[in-house]
Amino acid sequence: MLVVLDCNVLVSAGLTDGTCRSVLYEVVGYHRCVLSEEIVEEYREVTARPKFASLEPIYSQLISLLETVSMYVDSAASSFSLPDSDDEMYLSAAIVAVADVLVTGNKAHFPEEQYENTSIVTPRQFLERVSRDR
């Protein structure tokens, strides 16, 4: 499965050993993550904020791991208008890659359930879907 991970999933995976970390392990172990230069830039920018300073080594390792195992795309400008324009790069990468899912902790930023071939799912929905498909 091709998967785009919203930055909030990466941040949560670094903060706690819970659902988002399970999503990250699942994606790295059994699926293909989709990245663009813009997404990696946002991952680095957000995780470099002072409130995450103590977790810098963890975030650095997580981002490096994703960079190593992911498929990169050039995300074209999105023709979609989202409530938070910062999220458009994730949707653009998903559309370009024909990703199966975009995993986000904030579905309100993606008003539709699906954009072209990409379903918008929460971390829990992603884990339920992969569990069901096995």
- β-pairing, 71-72 with 32-35? parallel
For residue 33, list its beta bridge partners: 3
Relative to beta strand 118-121, strand 114-115 is antiparallel
Count up the domains in the chain and report the number: 1
**Residue 81 burial (C-beta neighbours within 10 Å; 0-12, 13-18, 19+):** exposed
Tens-digit pLDDT profile for residues 45-76: 999 999 999 999 999 999 999 999 999 998 77
7-38 pLDDT, tens digit each: 999 999 999 999 999 999 999 999 999 999 99
Q: Kindly report the CATH number assigned to the domain that includes residue 123.
A: 3.40.50.1010
Supply the pTM of this predicted model.
Answer: 0.94
User: For residue 9, what is the enclosing H or E element?
Assistant: helix 7-15
| Structural domain boundaries enclosing 118 | 2-133
pLDDT of residue 80: 73
Which residues are CB-neighbours of 31 under 8 A, at least 6 positions away? 1, 2, 3, 130
User: How many beta carbons lie within 10 A of that of residue 85, not counting itself?
Assistant: 10
